[in-house]
């Protein structure tokens, strides 16, 4: 009973759908093409504009633009041509390629060493370059100083401190001239003392150096009596040098 009712309900729904289709078809009139678009005026460029466009380089489609070759391009062109000839040539095929491989290997090694900042100067028997300092040291060349006159000037002016300094520098010059030490502005008195040969000379030099240090670095107020002692010590050292030379 229940099954029959379901079938009747399905048939009723189908019937209503079929009845509705012609009604929907009748409600729309048959479509006919209608020209609804308004008139569009075509824009045409002027002759002058067209001529202008035709003359533009980018709009030349018929022929490929020929780039202007620079000197650099010509150089590379020639290099490439030379490489091509070489690599295809008989010399390259008969061992020349190993030269090329070697050149590439050397270039690669050079780049790696440069990146690692390896200093190779010592490999060629030369000492590595010293790292420069950011400042300049202006030294006083003891070989260019007229010591006798400058010492006399300082003595007459009563500037014993300066006289002691000049006297000590003159001693360094004389020791250098005799090859007993090597004068350099960076050396200390202890360095010079270490350079002197054993014997009475280091003792005499040390006495002079000590007086210089007390006068120059210690800035002790010097009297004429002090300066007499300094002159005596310096004379004793020079006497030793004279004796040694004799």
- Kindly state whether residue 183 participates in binding another protein, applying the rule CB under 8 A: no
- Kindly state whether residue 138 participates in binding another protein, applying the rule CB under 8 A: yes
Q: Which of 84, 77, 119 is nearest to 100 (CA)?
A: 84
- Kindly state whether residue 72 participates in binding another protein, applying the rule CB under 8 A: no
- Kindly state whether residue 153 participates in binding another protein, applying the rule CB under 8 A: no
CA distance 72 to 59: 28
CA distance 3 to 172: 136
Q: Tell me which DSSP letter residue 94 carries.
A: I
- Kindly state whether residue 141 participates in binding another protein, applying the rule CB under 8 A: no
- Kindly state whether residue 174 participates in binding another protein, applying the rule CB under 8 A: no
- Kindly state whether residue 177 participates in binding another protein, applying the rule CB under 8 A: no
214-223 own/partner pairs: CB under 8 Å, 24+ apart? 215/160, 215/161, 215/164, 215/165, 216/161, 216/164, 216/165, 216/168, 219/161, 222/160, 222/161, 222/164, 223/160
| Segment interacting with another protein (CB under 8 A) among 11-19, 40-48, 152-160, 220-228 | 220-228
- Kindly state whether residue 226 participates in binding another protein, applying the rule CB under 8 A: yes
CA end-to-end distance (rounded Å), the chain = 156
Interface pick for another protein out of 150, 173, 213, 231 (rule CB under 8 A): 213
CB of 221 to another protein, least distance (A): 10
- Kindly state whether residue 171 participates in binding another protein, applying the rule CB under 8 A: no
- Kindly state whether residue 203 participates in binding another protein, applying the rule CB under 8 A: yes
| CA distances in angstroms from 46 to 54, 58, 128, 159, 218, listed in the order given | 12, 20, 77, 100, 99
| Segment interacting with another protein (CB under 8 A) among 20-28, 86-94, 148-156, 195-203 | 195-203
Contacting residues toward another protein, per CB under 8 A: 116-118, 130-135, 137-139, 165, 169, 185-191, 193-194, 196, 198-199, 202-203, 206-207, 209-211, 213-214, 216-220, 225-226, 229, 233
């Amino acid at each position: 009973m229940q099954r029959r009712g379901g079938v009747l309900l399905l048939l009723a729904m189908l019937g209503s759908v079929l009845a509705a289709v012609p009604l929907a078809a009748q409600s729309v009139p048959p479509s006919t093409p209608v020209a609804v678009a308004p008139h569009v005026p075509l824009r045409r460029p002027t002759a002058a504009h067209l001529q202008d466009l035709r003359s533009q380089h980018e709009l030349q489609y018929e022929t490929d633009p020929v780039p202007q070759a620079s000197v650099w391009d010509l150089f590379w062109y020639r290099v490439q041509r030379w490489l091509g000839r070489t690599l295809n040539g008989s010399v390259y095929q008969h061992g020349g390629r190993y030269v090329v491989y070697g050149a590439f290997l050397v270039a690669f090694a050079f780049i790696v060493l440069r990146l690692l900042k390896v200093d190779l100067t010592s490999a060629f028997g030369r000492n590595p370059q010293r790292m420069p300092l950011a400042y300049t040291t202006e030294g006083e060349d003891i070989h260019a100083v007229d010591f006798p006159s400058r010492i006399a000037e300082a003595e007459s002016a009563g500037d014993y401190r300066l006289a002691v300094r000049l006297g000590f520098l003159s001693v360094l010059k004389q020791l250098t001239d005799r090859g007993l030490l090597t004068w350099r502005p960076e050396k200390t008195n202890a360095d010079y003392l270490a350079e002197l040969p054993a014997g009475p000379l280091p003792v005499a030099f040390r006495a002079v150096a000590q007086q210089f240090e007390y006068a120059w670095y210690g800035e002790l107020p010097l009297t004429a009596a002090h300066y007499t002692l300094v002159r005596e010590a310096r004379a004793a050292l020079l006497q030793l040098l004279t004796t040694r030379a004799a």
